[in-house]
Structure 1
Amino acid sequence: MVGKKSGKALRDEGLERTDNNMDLSSWPQVQAINQKNYYTDYLKRDDQYLAFRLQNEEARTKMTKTAKDRDRALAMAKPEGAEGEAEADGDATMEDAEDTPIETAGSKVIVIHVGSQNLRIGLSSDALPKTVPMVIARKASKNESEDHPEPKPKRVKRDDGTAEEPENLFGEEWSSQFNRMSADLKVHMRQNKRRMLPNSKEMVVNFNRRTVPETISEHNDPMRVEWTELSKPPPEYIVGQPALRLPDSSNPRYKLYWPILNGCCNETDYKSKRELFLDISLILEDAIKTQLGLTSKKNWPQYSCVFVIPDLYEKSYVNQVLEMLMREFAFARVCFIQESLAATFGAGFTSACVVDIGAQKTSICCVEEGMCVENSRVNLKMGGRDVTETFIQMMLHDHFPYTDINLWRRYDFLLAEELKKNLCTMDEASVSPQVFDFHLRVAGQDTQKHTFKAFDEVHLAPMGFFEPTIFDNSDKLLGRRKLIERSVDIYDGQSNDPVSTAQSEILTALAPPLPKANGDSQPASSEVQATPARPQQPSALGRLQDQDQTPRSSVAGSPVPETNGTPQAGGANTPAAAPTTQPSHPAVESRDDILPVFPLDNAILTSIAHAARSDEKKMKDFIGGYYGRWRGHLDQWFLDERLRSLRPAFTKDIMIGVPPRDLDPQVVVWKGASIFGKLNATNDSWIGQLEYDRLGHRLMAYKCMWAY
């Protein structure tokens, strides 16, 4: 073993270590932080955020300007010797002030509420909004009816290509469900002591079989339609009501596009995301110019904008809308508000369960003290458009005289909407064989007057909200996520769109069963897909009914569209997802192959159950003050009766709220957003141009009143 050498030996060998006091590098040396005792206040104070700094600076600037104006007014005051002149000048100043018009609160705020079928827009100072169809017509080689060779509603054809009999026009399964609903209605009416003729259905069918239309010449039709005439040269696009009044046989052809479908972006009819949001921008721009009279875009930077978004929104959609409003429209400020919260503003409620039935979407959310309860949000893909289509199906089933009706044609679509609006009702007293008539008006043709009879179709079509399998749900998921991907977190790559345990619970009930332990799963055979799903009750609703000791009612789920690689959501031989205390798959909400179509009454109670969290007092508050915003699709008392049958323990507490001053329920959300737009002193949600230029859509995390 070699011993340690001495310093003298190392010096003799030239290996002695020397130090010349020079640094190893010219870079500054940073001392290591003492890990036991260090502190930083980075991003721990509000004044370190740009959004809050700009807000405070704006307040200081306003206060400074007010002080300067006051000092200037005092400095310009006359001396004591000229009191008379000062009084005269003061009187003149007061007269000038009276002559100067005072700006109305909200006159510089534009409120926009975009829906699947209609756009409501107006100034915050307006009493009511302007309603514009959310549609645009573009030049195309074919119109929408020519582009879809199969009519709507879809008919079943024989093997030889000929049409089936009206009773089997939509398949045996649909006909059997319609007949069962009709038989259940008869039983219910007899229980309520309502008289009904035993052969009512036969009377309707026989009358409709032999009726013949009456032809009315155009000059004898006092209610003839003014069709949209094309200019020369024809425009590239037409927006709003004129687009719906374009003749189907126009030259050149135009095709209708609806940018919003089932409450979200229409990814089925568009080829790119740019075209989709371009159409949204064109519709909004035309509405601002024609409905609000702001024809010059140079004046738009003087206006602010309040934009209404869904409760369960998609961040990619909100971010794109924010960019559109700030960049293309150049508004001075923009803020967002959720639909249910805006509804409580408009209805004057502090706490309520808001039920919003739109054209193609139904949303449910509990609002408590000015905040949407996150876990109570429910979004169902069904609405008044489904009632329209189902009503036409039921009428065709009972030999409707206008057998060639096709909702892809514009005049047929408007006719069907008019028939639904005038005839459909939830009042059982109105269910009886009655004679009705309608006028079929086609551009360039004589008007045809049809007479027909209707019986229980007027009641059973809106009953589809409680038995949604009667609706045609086969194409509601087509093209989903084709153009717009889910918003994801930049750190973990997971989806950061808002989630709700109530929505997850409903999707879990509709989801296909999990694979077995050995890896096998239920086969997605035609036998399984032959019968619609009837899953069990959601867990929260089941716990509530267990507390009431009442039997659980049957809940009909909705089958998933038959697409390749997508399993059917339940079936005749498919067991439903077992109810648990919490949804067994929290990530099931992020699945886009499950269609959220669920009975309305059960969905309302599920939302309330997740908002109350087993608190009986909150349960009574929500169920005793729920507010409905629907467009004549449901009667208030009927939904009350359905909820009382499910929750008999709260029979005395269930009560629906009505809008104040007989306000139309369709505009309550817009009205609440307009009120929100006037709260300049207490509204911290405004996003300015300077803030957006520096931070972009990241500002939403600081500016929204909810957790964005």
Structure 2
Amino acid sequence: MSELSDSEVKVEVEEQAVPKKTPKQESSESTNGSAPKKQKRGSAASGQKVSAEILQRRREGRIKALATLQSKLDKLGIKRVDQKNALPASTVPSISLINQKNYFTGYLKRDEQNLSIKNVKEMNRLLAEKKKKDKLSKSSAGTSTNTPDVDGEDEDDNDGDVDERVGSNTIVMHPGTTNIRIGLATDIDPKIIKNVIAFPRRPGQESTKGYIFESRKGSEHEAKEFETHLPSIVSSFRERMRYYKRRILPNSNETVANFNKRQEPQVVEDHNDIHKVDFLDSKKLLNDPEVKYLVGDDALRLDDYSDWILRSPFYKGNFNEDKSIYRSNQEILGDIELVIKEGLSKNLGIEPAKYADLNIILIIPNLYDKTYVAEMTNLLINMSFANIGVLQEGVSATFGSGISNGCVIDIGSHYTKVCCVDEGMIIPNSQIELDYGGDDVTKTFAKMLKRNQFPYKELDLSRITDWNLISQLKEKYLTFEDADIAIQLYNFSVRNPHQLTKKYDFKVFDEVMISPMGFFYPEVFGARGSPINRKGNFFDVHRDYFSGRYDSPLSRSQLDQVEGKFLANMEDLEEIVNRLLSESCGLGSNYNMGNNSNTSSGNNNLGNTGAATAGSEDSSDYMEIEETKLKKQIKNFLELKKEGKGLNLTPLELAVIESISYAGFQDMNKLKKLYENILIVGGSSKIDGLDLILVDRIHIARSPVLYSTSLDQAIKYITLKKEEFEKANKDSKTEGDVKEFKITEEHLEHLRGLLEGTSAVPIEILSSSRDIDPAEMCWKGGSVYARLKIVNEMWINKEEWNIFNDRAFNYKCLFTF
């Protein structure tokens, strides 16, 4: 029997609910004269129970009637479907609340969930399959008779011909203020491209060479500073000569000046000048429609610059935002692209069509600007290079020299960098940037020569030819060797456009050593301000994604030196320990200025200092006090930098002591390794005897506390006492009552007992390894890094860059971006 509908069940219930009539009621009805009704066919007689058969026929009839009615309604399009056509009130799906008691997520907690790591694994899988197929093809081709490789671990380093060896498709680029070093990772030496590009002057535009070239002439303020601080350098020089028993002849400077005053030039004919410079005809180039710009050395060989504009896109590890020569960030990036293309085309024979098959390693500063790194990476990606990798200069120098731990001193043309490296990582707060370099020594050397009546009276450092002349003399004759300091006779040749070569004889004395001693007395260079009034601010400041604040990295040692606070100059033991103690509490892990600050300015904030996660609750009060001090220090530094006054003119030996002290004061083994592995690199470091005088200067400047072999024990003792003090005051502390730990006289007596009688940590300067030019050490390290297997995990391709942008550096760098 088919199932009954609701209506059928209702009818059946009504039928059963009709009361039955008694015999008396039936007889009364008959006596009333009413005729009995005729019984219908198929129905039960009155007073009789309806049979099941009749009920079944009724049900089937009703079902048939309902079916007929429903078919007619369907034909008419009348149909009630409440459940199927019920529209929701909103298209937004409702999400049930999360049960916080059992909440868990695995999002980005496994390597397989990261796109970058997935791509690396997929690439390794494809390479393994390719090697397997190559082996099978070789064996099938009849090469099975050859001696098989027993150790296949490094087979990819030597397989294939010379063009297919590791690094043959990787370019290493190291941009600098003066030179850009670029070349393949398999090259012995890089190609050097001058950081300059020349454009014809447009109508109505002033001819200029920019701040880099115009500042070479110096200012009156710098001249006054030179005259003021020169006597202190001369006094130090004479003391050193007396200490090493070097005799100085009296009236030596007067003898040199009298000789130079009488010198007349000797004219050299062109056919006798083997080093003659072929200057380019600027007028002819201006009329040539195919010449739209000149790059590198060609831009520095023009005979006349009155109708040309010189641009230098890089300046001190960043973009050159000189608004006198640039009008937008696109002009700067365009110049960089032109320099790279011309350098690759002329020096390496690589055309833009081949860029898609090449990878490139970009070497960046230790204290990098995040905007600079991101914009350079974006530029190289848009130039169609296959993969991009970045490496810091300090780490690159250690790769090039073959050391794993050391203090790296990179002396460049415009600024000097100091940092400490431990196992391929730069130690936080050891990075220092000094605002002087080899060009300052060149200007000082020129001033010293003029004091001794330099025979070339028309010397003008703003002229490119004269600057190159003094630079050549500096590279040849400057020295720190005491035995070479005497009256020496030399000669030089002046080569100017449209003039015959003139040869001069001249004598020098102490200026060859006093000039580079400016590294240890930087005041003689002049407390010049940065060209802040000429800065265009073309690039946006990189900001933290969450707080929206400026977050480029800083170093604690850099902040202290800008304010003139030096550990080496502190004579009070309590002051030194307090300074180092502020680092050991966890505040010194990384000074990215973008996450946890509430300073008044949105740009002045302390970043990931480690204070939020490092240490225990007991030390939170002390860390809060130190963090407040640090925020104020950072704010002052940024304000000075904004005004062009935040320059670091710390003497070189003090900068080395500060960097090593901040890096290794908690671990004596690390401190010893850093002092015993001091590496000097950079183009301006090629001065004879620099390593010897630097060791002497460090010995003189180091305080007994900093060179003691028990320094780490002293810091551990004070740290323990501080923790005991905070634990004892934890329960008694009331709300708002913050007690600061202070070193008592009892503590100082114990420290003196630890430090007294200990030996000094030895100092050793590493020589240039394997006769590598110090100027090329960083580039060489980049080429070594490009041939390591780990570099395959550090590449950033276009797909990843488009998805992550600069967040890709968090997954693809050896350092924390």
Interval of TM-score (by shorter of Structure 1 and Structure 2): 0.7 to 0.9
Counterparts of 1:130-141 in structure 2, within 5 Å, are: 130-140=191-201
Distance 1:63 1:171, change over 3 A: closer
The 2-side partners of 1:682 and 1:151 are apart by: 40
Residue correspondence of structure 1 range 202-241 to structure 2 within 5 A: 202-229=254-281, 231=285, 233=288, 235-241=291-297
TM-score of the aligned structures, taking structure 1 as reference length: 0.78
Contact preservation (8 Å) 2:172, 2:360: yes
Q: What corresponds to 1:389 in structure 2?
A: 443
Is 1:179 aligned to 2:231, yes or no? yes
Provide the residue aligned with 1:435 in structure 2. 489
Q: Give the letter for the 1:132 counterpart.
A: I
State whether residues 384 and 633 of structure 1, in contact with CA within 8 Å, keep that contact through their aligned partners in structure 2: no
1:243 paired residue number: 299
Distance 1:415 1:542, change over 3 A: farther
Q: Contact 1:345–1:672 (CA<8 Å) still a contact in 2?
A: yes
1:452 partner SS: strand
2:225–2:523 CA contact under 8 A, matched in 1: no
1:40 lines up with 2:105 in the alignment: yes
Larger of the two Rg values belongs to structure = 2
What does residue 701 of structure 1 align with? 810
Residue of structure 2 in register with 1:12 after alignment: none
Q: How many Å separate the matches in 2 of 1:595 and 1:73? A: 63
- 2:385 aligned with 1:320: no
| Partner of residue 330 from structure 2, selected from 264, 274, 290 | 274
Note if contact 1:110-1:303 (Cα within 8 Å) is conserved in structure 2. Answer: yes
CA displacement, residues 676-705 of structure 1 (integer Å, 9 cap, x when unaligned): 111235641111222223222221121111
Aligned match of 2:218:
154
Deviation per residue, 1:596-652 (Å, 9 max, x gap): 221111001111111113332221110111111133146211111111222374766
Aligned runs of 1:162-561 on 2, under 5 Å? Answer: 171-229=223-281, 231=285, 233=288, 235-247=291-303, 249=304, 253-268=307-322, 269-294=325-350, 296-328=351-383, 330-478=384-532, 479-480=534-535, 482-509=537-564
What is the one-letter code of the residue matched to 1:38? Y
* Aligned-partner residue type, residue 367 of structure 1: V
Distance 1:368 1:441, change over 3 A: same
User: What residue ranges of structure 2 are gaps of 5+ in the alignment?
Assistant: 1-81, 149-157, 578-625, 708-758
1:585 is aligned to 633
Measured against aligned partners, the alpha-carbon deviations of 1:527-560 in whole angstroms (never above 9, x if no partner) come to xxxxxxxx6657889869969xxxxxxxxxxxxx
Amino acid of the residue matched to residue 116 of structure 1?
T
Structure 1 residues 701 and 588: CA distance shift in structure 2, 3 A: farther
Counterpart CA distance in 2 for 1:98 and 1:203 is 66
Local SS of the residue matching 1:705: coil
2:783 is equivalent to residue 674 of structure 1: yes
CA deviation profile, 1:184-238 (whole Å, cap 9, x unmatched): 3223312321111221122222223333333333344333212234555061211
Code of the residue aligned with 2:123 in structure 1: it is E
Q: What is the one-letter code of the residue matched to 2:348?
A: L
CA distance in 2, matches of 1:637, 1:337: 30
Question: 2:401 and 2:103 mapped to 1: Cα distance?
Answer: 53
Counterpart in 2 of 1:25?
89
- Using the size of structure 2 for normalisation, the TM-score is 0.68
Amino acid at match of 1:46: D
For 1:303 and 1:497, the matched residues in 2 are separated by 30
1:638 maps to which residue? Answer: 693
CA distance in 2, matches of 1:123, 1:209: 50
Contact (CA 8 Å) 1:139, 1:237: kept in 2 or not? yes
Q: Would the alpha carbon gap of residues 98 and 346 (structure 1) be closer, same or farther in structure 2, given more than 3 Å must change?
A: closer
What RMSD, in angstroms, separates the aligned Cα atoms of the two structures? 3.3
Asked whether the equivalents of residues 211 and 531 of structure 2 are also in contact (C-alpha less than 8 Å), the reply is no
| SS of 2:517 mapped into structure 1 | helix
CA contact (8 A) 1:354 1:365 kept: yes
Report which stretch shifted further, 457-466 or 424-433.
424-433
Deviates more, 1:626-635 or 1:614-623: 626-635
Cα distance change, pair 47–289 in 1 and its aligned pair in 2 (3 A): same
Equivalents in 1 of 2:280, 2:784: separation in Å? 36
Label 1:260 to 1:60 Cα distance change in 2 as closer, same or farther (>3 A): same
SS in 1 for 2:815: coil
1:215, 1:699 → 2: CA distance? Answer: 61
Pick which of 696-705 and 140-149 moved more. 140-149
Give aligned pairs, total. 603
Q: Distance in 2 between matches of 1:70 and 1:261?
A: 50
**1:110 is matched with which residue?**
171
Q: CA deviation at 1:433?
A: 2.5
Q: Distance in 2 between matches of 1:134 and 1:449?
A: 29
Q: Measure the CA separation in 2 of the matches of 1:259 and 1:669.
A: 20
Deviations 1:391-412 (A, max 9, x none): 1112223332323322221111
CA contact (8 A) 1:362 1:382 kept: yes
- The structure carrying a bigger helix percent of its residues is 2
Identical residues among aligned pairs (%): 32
Structure 1 residues 57 and 90: CA distance shift in structure 2, 3 A: closer
